[in-house]
Amino acid sequence: MIALGALGKKISNHAFMICGCFVAVSYYFILGLSTHPWQLIAAQLLQATFVAIVMGNGLSYFAKLLPHSPGLSTTIYSNGSNIGILFGSLGFGIIAQYTGYRNVYWVCLTLVISSLLILWRIKPHKEVETIIELTVSE
């Protein structure tokens, strides 16, 4: 996590979150296809990397999205994390109950791919500020 934090100074938070989504996509894809316990154990390195990126840079990402409202960005991140844990646990139980544990991984993969597409479409904050400055100056 410390190494990822140092890397975060060289890469924008937006690009770092996209990289984290790519790691998560590979993690859930491996989980969905794995047939032996050693494959699950090896995949935990990907999960650790994904969690370190999201938890380590998630708050910084929201703070950069709302630079003039640090309290609001912290609140959104904190509440979003808590709601995500609540609905994630509930969803895991429901999906596992009715379709089996293996399908939970495929649902998670779908959610991560959706997140990746959303992040891919969103412009980084610096580009948005430049567009606003150009619009105001004209």
pTM of the model: 0.78
- Tens of pLDDT, residues 86-129: 998 999 999 999 998 889 999 999 999 999 999 899 876 554 45
Q: What is the mean pLDDT of the chain?
A: 84
| 120 neighbors 17 (Cβ within 8 angstroms) | no
Return d(Cα 8, Cα 105) in angstroms, integer.
28
